[in-house]
Amino acid sequence: MHHADGLIAQIAAYWNRCIHDLEMTEQPVGSLEFFDDLDEYRFDKLSYLPRVVDFTGYRGQRLLEVGCGIGTDLLRFAKGDACVTGVDLSTQAIELASKNFAVHEMPQTANLQVQNGEALSFEDNTFDVVYAHGVLQYTADPHRMISECRRVLKPGGQAIFMVYNRFSWLQALSKAMAVDLEHADAPVLRLFSIRQFRRMLSSFPEATIIPERFPVRSRLHKGWKGTLYNEVFVKAFAVVPLVLVRPLGWHLMAFCRK
């Protein structure tokens, strides 16, 4: 087995054990209430996301999500009548994504597959949209994944990516408070500067990068550190003009055209 293949296997094993945000609900795994809790938590934490990604704006378009997890975002695209395909390294994630679509009684069936986003099985120029939110930072070779996403995208199609910002308020706060980032124990976790991210996307004729995700109240962290974060830091950050801190957004969103 090549080193890269071994790392991909480690990444798959990790995400089979560590489904994202699973600890944020007490509902039975796979129930409607389980998925709705995780949807509510995700879009409370990432309140910016529906503002910058129009989940209802891709009606009739073929959309691929790389690293679809349990299908939270993919379901929103499907509710907007996109023709959706989702791939993930994690078998457990794909099984849960299938249940997510089933319990929401979607009229269309999502094409859900266990696949490595660095070696997609699809033909060139297949999709109108490729979406990979929070995936590049956890894969073995992000450049290879971007290349694959671009390959399967139709000419003129849109690619949407998100990575973590190396120079962000959250990275600084994590170090100052000695609190690990989520999934800091993953086999791979990379942070990127805006300049690095722009270079990674240089194969696209058009690429716009927007820093997003600014401090909101957290349900994840408890104790005095959680209280300090929620009651002092979040409130203090909220009074600083966004124009001054925008480059420090934790999420770097990229909107690209092939």
β-strand partners of 245: none
- Retrieve residue 94's tokens: 């794909």
Q: Residues 150-183: pLDDT tens digits?
A: 999 999 999 999 999 999 988 888 887 788 888 9
pLDDT score recorded for residue 244 = 83
Sheet with 111-114: strands ordered across: 111-114, 83-88, 62-66, 127-133, 153-164, 251-257, 206-212
**Do strands 206-212 and 111-114 pair parallel, antiparallel, or not at all (unpaired)?**
unpaired
For residue 126, what pLDDT band results from cuts at 50, 70 and 90?
very high
Q: Residues 142-153: pLDDT tens digits?
A: 999 999 999 999
Q: Residues 68-96: pLDDT tens digits?
A: 999 999 999 999 999 999 999 999 999 99
- Please give the average per-residue pLDDT across 7-20, as a whole number: 92
18 C-beta neighbours (distance < 10 Å), count = 16
Give Cα 31 distance to the centre of its chain. 22
**216 compared with 151, residue with greater pLDDT:** 151
pLDDT score recorded for residue 21 = 77
